[in-house]
Amino acid sequence: MTRPHAFLTALAVCAALTLPAGAQAWRTLDISRPLDEQGALRTTVTFGAGRLSLRPDRAAHLYDLSLRYDADRATPIYTFDALERSLLVGVRYADGGSRWRSDRGSELRLALPTSLDLDLNIEAGAAEGEIDLTGLRVRALALSVGAADTRLRIDQPNAHRIPVLRLDAGAANLETIHLANARADRIVVNVGVGRVLLDMSGSWEADTDIEVSAALGKIELIVPPAVGVRIEMSSLLQSVELPGLSKVGNAWVSADYDSAPHKLRLTASGALGRIELRRSAR
Amino acid sequence: MRTRVRVLMRVLTVALTAAMAAPLAAQGVDIDARLQAVRAELSGLTIPPASAFASAPRSVRAGDVADGPIAAVGDIRIDGTVSGDVVSLDGDIIVGEGGRISGAAIAIGGEIRAAQGSIAGERRVIGGALLPTAPPTALGLVGERAALTAGWSGIVLLIGLGVLFFGGSTLQRIGQTLDTQFGRSFVVAALAIVGAAPGLILACIALALTVIGILLIPFVIVAAVLAAAGILVLAFLASARMAGHAMLRTNAAGDRQAAVRALVVGVLGFTGLWLSVALLASVPLAGVIVRLLAIGSTGAALAAGVGATVLSRGGRRASGALGATPRAAPATHRGTPALGASDAWQTPTPVAGVAAVRRPASTTGRTP
């Protein structure tokens, strides 16, 4: 072997040695507990990357959890405190935080009962989420998404009014469908550089206040035609697309605002952001 | 003769016993290790010790009442009542009609089938690759670290060769600055390292004050990170190349072939140092000493390189242009000072009959 060839071979060997081994130890964990009627359940979900699914459970389970994770890099989080009635589920990574690198094989599926009151706190890093709260009796809801596509839907009116519903989307694309069914008095939305779709269609029983804080993000608002809309912005650098609204003082107000049976008041603050309004069919 | 046969028979008996016991012992160790792995991974899980696991499938017949925990390697069938937990390893838990478990049902590497029976407690099914990872041997650890070191060296070498071929003059200028202003490079590196983060923060604040500049902040941060990475790579390559020249006792202003050779030797020098760390990692005192030596020398090389890179404006400016007095060039392997980097151009004095040597304008950035 000539010298250049030997040198190139050595380089190739070195490069080959640097290739990641790619070995993963996928583990599955399925946990369920029979339903009891001993009171509300406080549930916290913390999940870094992968696929996240939360849905109503039609079977008689207090909770039904399915986890899939890479045991080489992560450990499952599962705690149920029967006295406190609190459930904590998720995946913890070895470095202490949620790894945002690709972890597509990871999955968390959680089903919760439709017969118990629920307080939900969901923190998803780079997880693609499908959160269906239809039929659940939600008393409190906080949803935080890091950097992935997440959809939250509520197809039936919630059994409770939620005093404050919190939505955080760092760099994520968060879509909420039929959010009026959540029956929230106040919705607080924080957006970094992501996009949040607030589809406020659904059952309207009372007025709703929405507080938006957006750095560079975009808020898309879909509101039923019968709902009066008033949008107030504290930053001049926010761009808007508000068809059907006219400027009154420092706010944008719909023509039928005063006579509308239900009102949506939105206040927006932040550096740069965009707010778009669309009217739903009904 | 009879004694020999007796001894032979004894040896055979012992060997046979050992051979038969080995798999059982291995199985015991395997079960224990696997259970430990599951316990470690799933905190709060109550799993009986390995000794409590029956080595064959178990069952509780209809009408029978058994105290838990019931644990077995293989299937467990419950048609009666169990007061407590049921744990199966590599088998299913089947709760038949009328069967009842008052505690939890835990299936490790199996399933729970209880369509007709009832489980009062929690159901846990743990699946997947449940074999615990074998603890790495010392040799394996050394191999792993050595492979990692070799891999990094390979990457650095590839990058270095790329830089050398596409921007050799840049590396040469940094190397020259490093050679002529070694101490100053350290000082500049210290200032650069200390001032980098505050400088970046100040830049971001200044951009934020302009309001419209907020848009640029993410780009500035990304650019700063890329610049820092570039400086570190150039710094290390320049230092490695200089170290290679020193090891080969060649001139830094040599041709491209010499530069490649110096770079390879320099990187291999550092690789050797870190391979020593990998080899001696398990040795208590020597391991620590070699590691400190490697960290110190690599850190010093990086620091000096960073300083030289900053001083030479990323290799765009020769050290001579900075106003520094160049040191006498190191002697080449033939004992002749390098032309252009020393006062060699001053001789010979033009005298009658002897043609004067032309003074080179600058040797930096060019190969002689």
pLDDT at position A212 over 70:
yes
Closest in B128, B150, B264 to A17, CB measured? B150
- The contacts of residue B210 (CB under 8 Å, 6+ apart) are none
Q: How sure is the predictor about B9, in pLDDT bands with cuts at 50, 70 and 90?
A: low
| A6-28 residue pLDDT tens | 544 554 444 444 444 445 678 88
Tell me the C-alpha distance between A176 and A167, whole Å: 10
Tell me the C-alpha distance between A189 and B19, whole Å: 68
- The predicted pLDDT at position A102 comes to 47
Interface test with A, best of B34, B39, B126, B261 (most A CBs within 10 A): B126
B211–A contact, CB cutoff 8 A: yes
Least confident range from A111-115, A146-150, A187-191, B350-354: namely: B350-354
Tally of helices (H runs) and strands (E runs) in chain B: 6, 13
The count of other CB atoms within 10 Å of the CB of residue A23 is 9
CB contact (8 A) between residue B41 and residue A32: no
**Cβ neighbours of B256 in A, within 8 Å:** none
CB contact (8 A) between residue B128 and residue A25: yes
A11–B contact, CB cutoff 8 A: yes
Q: What is the mean pLDDT of chain A?
A: 83
> Mean per-residue pLDDT for B181-203?
85
CB contact (8 A) between residue B130 and residue A18: no
Query: What angle separates helix B217-248 from helix B256-279, to the nearest 10 degrees?
Result: 100
The count of other CB atoms within 10 Å of the CB of residue B3 is 7
Q: Could you tell me how far CA B40 lies from the centroid of its own chain? A: 25
SS3 B210: coil
Using only C-alpha atoms, chain A has a radius of gyration, in whole angstroms, of 23
A38–B contact, CB cutoff 8 A: no
CA distances from A142 to A117, A167, B34, B96 (A): 15, 6, 38, 42
Contact A163, A187 (CB under 8 A): no
| A34-51 residue pLDDT tens | 888 778 999 999 988 888
pLDDT at position A186 over 90:
yes
Least confident range from A155-164, A184-193, B258-267: namely: B258-267
- The predicted pLDDT at position B20 comes to 43
Q: How sure is the predictor about B155, in pLDDT bands with cuts at 50, 70 and 90?
A: confident
Name the residue with tokens 């069914």.
Answer: A181
How many CA within 13 A on the CB side of residue B314? 7
| B249-264 residue pLDDT tens | 877 666 778 888 888 8
> Mean per-residue pLDDT for B287-299?
88
Contact B130, B37 (CB under 8 A): yes
Least confident range from A25-29, A116-120, B252-256, B305-309: namely: B252-256
Q: Which residues pair with B263 in a beta bridge?
A: none
